[in-house]
A and B are shown apart, each in its own frame.
Chain A
Amino acid sequence: MNATVKPSQLIKGATGDWEIVIGLEVHAQVTSNSKLFSGASTEFGGEPNSHVSLVDAAMPGMLPVINEACIRQAVRTGLGLKAQINLRSVFDRKNYFYPDLPQGYQISQYKSPIVGEGEVIVDLDSGDSITVGIERLHLEQDAGKLLHDQHATMSFVDLNRSGVALMEIVSKPDMRTSEQAKAYVAKLRSILRYLGTCDGDMEKGSLRADVNVSVRKPGGPLGTRCEIKNVNSIRFIGQAIEYEARRQIGILEDGGPIDQETRLFDAVKGETRSMRSKEEAHDYRYFPDPDLLPLEFSQAYVDALKAELPELPDAKKARFIRDFALSPDDAGVLVSERESADFYEAVLGKLANAARDGKLAANWVINELFGRLNKDGHGIAASPVSAAQLAAIVDLIGDATISGKIAKDLFEIVWQEGGDPRALVETRGMKQVTDLGAIEKVVDDIIAVNPDKAAQVRDKPAMIGWFVGQVMKSSGGKANPQAVNDILKSKLGL
Chain B
Amino acid sequence: MSVDATTVRRIAHLARIAVTDAEVPHLQGELNAMLAFVEQLSEVNVDGVEPMTSVTPMQMKKRGDVVDDGEIADAVVANAPATEDHFYLVPKVVE
Contacts and interface: CB of A to CB of B under 8 A. Distances in A.
A293 B65 contact: no
Contact of A38 (B13, B69, B77, B93): B69
Given A65-B63, A68-B64, A155 B73 contact: no
B53 A49 contact: no
Contacts of A275: 95
Contacts of B95: 264, 275-276
Given A48-B85, A65-B61, A99 B66 contact: no
B94 A39 contact: no
Contact of A294 (B10, B53, B85): B53
B69 A156 contact: no
B66 A33 contact: yes
B75 interface: yes
A150 to B, nearest CB: 8
Contacts of A50: 70-71, 73, 86
B62 A39 contact: no
Contacts of A97: 14-16
Q: Determine the interface band of chain A, counting residues with CB < 8 A from chain B.
A: 35 or more
Interface residues of B, number: 39
Contacts of A38: 69-70
Contacts, number: 137
B63 A67 contact: yes
Provide the main secondary structure of the chain A interface. Answer: loop
B62 A51 contact: no
B59 to A, nearest CB: 6
B44 interface: no
A68 B67 contact: no
Contacts of A69: 64-65
A155 B13 CA distance: 21
A392 interface: no
Contacts of B66: 33-34, 39
Given A54-B76, A97-B16, A155 B69 contact: no
B60 A146 contact: no
A146 B94 CA distance: 9
B73 A52 contact: yes
A153 interface: yes
Contacts of A57: 76
Contacts of B15: 97
Given A154-B91, A155-B92, A293-B53, A53 B72 contact: yes
A441 B52 CA distance: 94
A321 to B, nearest CB: 37
Instruction: Name which of A39, A70, A96 has the most chain B CB atoms within 10 A of its CB.
Output: A39
Interface in B10-29: 10, 13-16
A294 B87 CA distance: 34
B41 interface: no
B65 A67 contact: yes
Contacts of A34: 63, 65-69
Given A65-B61, A65-B62, A48 B86 contact: yes
B62 A53 contact: no
Interface in A56-81: 56-57, 65-71
A400 interface: no
A153 B94 CA distance: 11
Instruction: Name which of B58, B69, B85 has the most chain A CB atoms within 10 A of its CB.
Output: B69
A40 interface: yes
B72 to A, nearest CB: 7
A154 B67 CA distance: 32
Given A41-B67, A47-B73, A99-B88, 20 more contacts: A32-B65, A33-B65, A34-B68, A39-B68, A48-B86, A49-B76, A49-B87, A50-B73, A52-B72, A65-B61, A67-B65, A68-B62, A97-B14, A146-B93, A147-B87, A154-B82, A154-B92, A157-B89, A283-B14, A296-B59
Interface of B: 10, 13-16, 53-54, 58-73, 75-77, 82, 84-95
14 contacts: A33-B66, A34-B63, A34-B69, A39-B63, A47-B86, A48-B87, A49-B88, A52-B73, A66-B61, A67-B63, A157-B89, A159-B76, A293-B59, A293-B60
